[in-house]
Amino acid sequence: MADNLDEEALDNPINSQSKSFSGEIISTNETDKGISNQETENMEVHKHPHHITHKKKWGEYLLEFIMLFLAVFLGFLAENLRERIVEHKIEKEYILSLVEDLKSDTLQSNEMLIFLDSRIAGVDSVITALSSPGIIGNSNNAYRLWSKNIGFPDFISNDRTIQQLKNSGGLRLIRNKAVSDRIMNYDKVIRDLNGLTTVMSGILGDQHIYSQLFDFINLDKNKNIPVPLTEQGRKLLNEAYANRKVWRYILLNLSNNLKLVNNESKSVLLFIQKEYQPE
C-alpha cells in the first residue's frame, strides 16, 4: 500500500505541489491577517486621549494683565516723550525766529523815530510860515515847507512769528508763561500803533485845504517870485493853521507810540534772551 501511495505521488506531482502551495498561501494569509489584527489593536491601544483644557490660576491672569498694562504704559510714555522732544524743538525755533523779528522791529523803530523828529520839526516850520505877517502876499516858503513835510513814515512790524504763534495755536508751545505774556503784550502795542496809523492815513487823504490854499501853477513856474495865496486860501488860512497844529499833535502821538514799541521790543528781546539764552 505504501508503494501505491508513492506511486500516486510520483504519478501526480503537480497535485502534490498544489496542495502544498495552497497550504502555504492559507498559512501566509492567516499570518498577514494576524499581523493586521495586531497592528489594529496596537493603533487602538495608542490612541491619544483628548487633552483636558488647562485652567489658569488667578495669579497667571494677574501677571498677564500687569504685563499688558506695562507694555501700554511704556508705549504711552515713549510717545509722550517723543512729542515733548518735538514740541521743545519747535519752541526753540519759534524763539529764535521771534528774536530775529524783535531785532528787526527795534532797528526799524529807531530809524523811524529819528525821521519823525525831523518831520515834526518840519511841521513846526510850516506852522511858523503860515503865521508869518507876509503869508498872504508871499506863500512861497509856506508852500515849499508844506509840500516837503506831507505824510508820515510807515512802521511795518516784522510780526511773522507772532502771527504764526497766534494763528496755529503755537503759543501753547511757549512753556515760559512770563515770556508768553510779554509776547502778547508786545503784539497789543503793535496793534495800537497800527490802529493809529490807519486813522492818520485817513486824515492824510483829505488834502482839500492844502489844494485850495496855494496857487500851485504859479508857484511851480515862479519859484523865486513871490506868489500870494489864492482867494480861497485867504479864507482858509486860519483853518490851514489849525490843520497843521492838529497834524503836529498826531505826529507827536505817533512818535510816542513808536517809542513804546521801541522800548517794548528791546525789553522783550532782553527778557527772552535771559530766559531762553538762544544761540
Tens place of pLDDT per residue across the chain (279 aa): 444 444 444 444 444 444 444 444 444 444 444 544 454 444 444 444 445 555 667 777 777 777 777 777 777 766 666 666 666 788 888 899 999 999 999 999 999 999 999 999 999 999 999 999 999 999 999 999 999 999 888 999 998 999 888 887 778 888 888 998 999 999 999 999 999 999 999 988 888 999 999 999 999 998 889 999 999 999 999 999 999 999 999 999 999 999 999 999 999 999 998 888 765
102 domain-assigned: yes
99 domain-assigned: yes
133 domain-assigned: yes
71 domain-assigned: no
193 domain-assigned: yes
141 domain-assigned: yes
- CB distance 262 to 114 below 8 Å: no
Task: Find all residues with CB under 8 Å of 175, minimum gap 6, and list them.
Answer: 91
186 domain-assigned: yes
**What pLDDT does 205 receive?**
84
Which is it for the CA torsion 209, 213, 218, 219, positive or negative? negative
Structural domains of the chain, count: 1
**What pLDDT does 14 receive?**
41
Closest CA relative to residue 120, chosen from 239, 206, 244, 237 = 244
**Domain assignment of residue 225, given as a range:** 83-276
**What pLDDT does 35 receive?**
47
74 domain-assigned: no
